């Protein structure tokens, strides 16, 4: 629990400080979503993972104010926490990156479906451009963070 709170504080600081610095064309990497996915991959209790994802999403909406819709991050983080805790049964060392990247992409697509829903109906190709841009950028930044903090070793040892 102590390690979870330490990494939560680190994720909040990274999201507050570096997401503004890393903004490209209005797109920011979602570090809090990465935190939820990686922290819940080793969680054996799926309901606890969903509640944790919901609470972290609520913190993200209230403290960080990452969007205009209150509760959107809670919904997306709950879905991603559910997926992350369910795939832990298939968890093997060599496919670790595939699992968290896939879950991150699912979370980004769901987030974009709700956040950019007006583009989905009015200009589908602009919507796809936004989804692909945000996805590639978030995966790139997340991959660097996972390698930089050697999170793979920490999660697999949990």
Q: Is 24 helix (H, G, I), strand (E, B) or coil?
A: strand
Contact (CB, 8 A) for 53 and 82: yes
Q: What is the pTM of this model?
A: 0.90
Number of domains comprising the chain: 1
- Provide the residue range defining the domain that includes 24: 2-157
Contact (CB, 8 A) for 137 and 27: yes
Find residue 24's DSSP bridge partners: 27
pLDDT in tens, the chain (158 residues): 888 999 999 999 988 888 788 888 888 888 999 999 999 988 888 999 999 999 999 998 888 776 668 889 999 999 999 999 988 766 666 788 888 999 999 999 999 998 888 888 899 999 999 999 999 999 999 999 999 988 888 887 77
Helices (H), the chain: 2-21, 31-40, 46-59, 72-86, 96-115, 117-122, 124-148, 151-157
Rounded Cα gap, residues 118 and 102, in angstroms: 25
Contact (CB, 8 A) for 127 and 120: yes
Q: What is the pLDDT of residues 36-63, one digit of tens each?
A: 999 998 888 899 999 999 999 999 888 8
Tokens of 15: 């999201």
Rounded Cα gap, residues 56 and 53, in angstroms: 5
Burial class (CB in 10 A: 0-12, 13-18, 19+), 34: buried
């Amino acid at each position: 629990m102590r390690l979870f709170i330490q990494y939560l504080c680190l994720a909040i600081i990274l999201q507050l400080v570096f997401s503004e610095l890393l903004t490209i064309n209005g797109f920011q990497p979602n570090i809090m979503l990465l935190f939820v996915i990686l922290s819940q991959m080793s969680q054996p209790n799926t309901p606890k993972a969903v509640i944790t994802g919901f609470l972290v999403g609520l913190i993200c909406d209230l403290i960080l104010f990452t969007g205009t819709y209150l509760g959107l991050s809670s919904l997306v983080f709950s879905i991603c926490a559910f997926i992350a805790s369910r795939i832990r049964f298939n968890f093997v060392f060599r496919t670790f990156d595939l699992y968290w990247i896939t879950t991150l992409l699912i979370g980004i697509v769901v987030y974009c479906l709700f956040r950019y829903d007006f583009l989905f109906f009015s200009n589908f190709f602009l919507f796809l451009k936004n989804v692909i841009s945000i996805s590639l950028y978030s995966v790139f930044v997340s991959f660097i963070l996972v390698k930089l903090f050697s999170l793979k070793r920490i999660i697999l040892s949990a």
